[in-house]
Amino acid sequence: MPQVASLKVQPRERAGKGAARATRRADLVPGVVYGGKAEPVLISVEPRTLVTLMHNPNFRITIFDMEVAGAKAERTMAMDVQLHPVTDRPIHVDFRRIDKNTSVKVPVPVRFLNEAASPGIKVGGVLNIVLHDIEVRVKPDEIPDHIDVDLTGLKIGDSIHINAITLPKGVKPTVARNFTICSIAPPTVYVEPEVATATATPAEGEAAAVAAAGATPGAAPGAAPGGAKAVAPAAGGKAAAPAAAAKAPAKKK
């Protein structure tokens, strides 16, 4: 059964943008009640009351017994609420008169059951919800509080479509195709690659430094490449004299 709530509103005398702005300056939300055999009625709603009603998840499927300035209450449902693009405050609201034979189009919340009985979720799969509510056409007295979706037995890659759901009597989806409600997606796990770090031993570090300098590992400082001994400069900064030249060959007589 749908929820029923009482709502008291005040009438408005003038229509148009200027009158609506004046209503907002008076800290009220302008609105209108239409439908049925009666003429449309201009109303204004206290903003706190409207915001409180909007926070109810079943706001769009609730029947309001609306009382306009002490007049006889009429059964209505909220059809549309316009919000300010910056503050998200309601700036206009539309209500529609209904009776037991009126067919209305409303979004019904979806409730997902038995997640623990889904093998796909047990192994790390993720419930991918495509629709949080399903728009249906139904008579006011037959509006369900929610539509149940059973996840029992679903594996990774499985999905549930509207044709697999048994809807309550008198409830029909507004979309004719067999649309998807939810699916079980595979887990997405990111594994950070390991970076190998080489640790050099002291001996290896010394060999690398010596090799970079062009010397033989273990050689004394100042040793020349190839094992040759380096010649130290003479005292006073002069280089040592070269070795004596070989004797010249004897002259022939």
- Would you state the pLDDT for residue 42? 94
- Listed residues 73, 99, 125: the one ending a domain: 99
Whether 139 is covered by a domain: the verdict is yes
- Would you state the pLDDT for residue 93? 95
- Listed residues 185, 217, 243: the one ending a domain: 185
Same-domain status, 95 and 146: no
Whether 37 is covered by a domain: the verdict is yes
CATH of the domain at 75: 2.40.240.10
Whether 158 is covered by a domain: the verdict is yes
Count of domains forming the chain: 2
Could you tell me how many residues make up the chain? Answer: 253
The residue among 141, 130, 132 whose CA lies nearest residue 168 is 141
Same-domain status, 77 and 12: yes
Same-domain status, 79 and 121: no
- Listed residues 99, 132, 167: the one ending a domain: 99
CATH of the domain at 181: 2.170.120.20
Whether 231 is covered by a domain: the verdict is no
For 100, residues 6+ apart whose C-beta sits below 8 A from its C-beta are: 139, 140, 141
- Would you state the pLDDT for residue 253? 44
The range of the structural domain enclosing residue 174 comes to 105-185
Same-domain status, 83 and 134: no
Same-domain status, 56 and 124: no
The residue among 136, 81, 74, 75 whose CA lies nearest residue 103 is 136
Q: How far is residue 243's CA from residue 230's CA, in Å, rounded to a whole number? A: 16
- Would you state the pLDDT for residue 214? 56
**Which residue shows structure tokens 């008198």?**
170
Whether 73 is covered by a domain: the verdict is yes
The values of phi and psi at residue 207, to 5°, are -65, -40
Same-domain status, 92 and 50: yes
Question: Are residues 54 and 85 in contact, defined by beta-carbon separation less than 8 angstroms?
Answer: no
Q: Indicate the pTM of the whole model.
A: 0.65
Residue 42's Cα: distance from chain center in Å? 39
pLDDT in tens, the chain (253 residues): 678 899 999 999 888 889 899 999 999 999 999 988 888 999 999 999 999 999 988 899 999 999 988 778 899 999 999 999 999 999 999 999 998 888 999 999 999 999 999 999 999 999 999 999 999 999 998 999 999 999 999 999 999 999 999 999 899 999 999 999 999 999 876 556 666 655 555 555 555 554 555 555 555 444 444 444 444 444 444 444 444 444 555 555 4
Whether 225 is covered by a domain: the verdict is no
Q: Quick one: the chain helix, strand, coil %, rounded to 5?
A: 20, 30, 50
| CB neighbourhood size of 7 (10 A) | 20
Whether 206 is covered by a domain: the verdict is no
Whether 119 is covered by a domain: the verdict is yes
Same-domain status, 89 and 119: no
Beta bridge partners of 127: 184
- Would you state the pLDDT for residue 163? 95
Question: Are residues 77 and 53 in contact, defined by beta-carbon separation less than 8 angstroms?
Answer: no
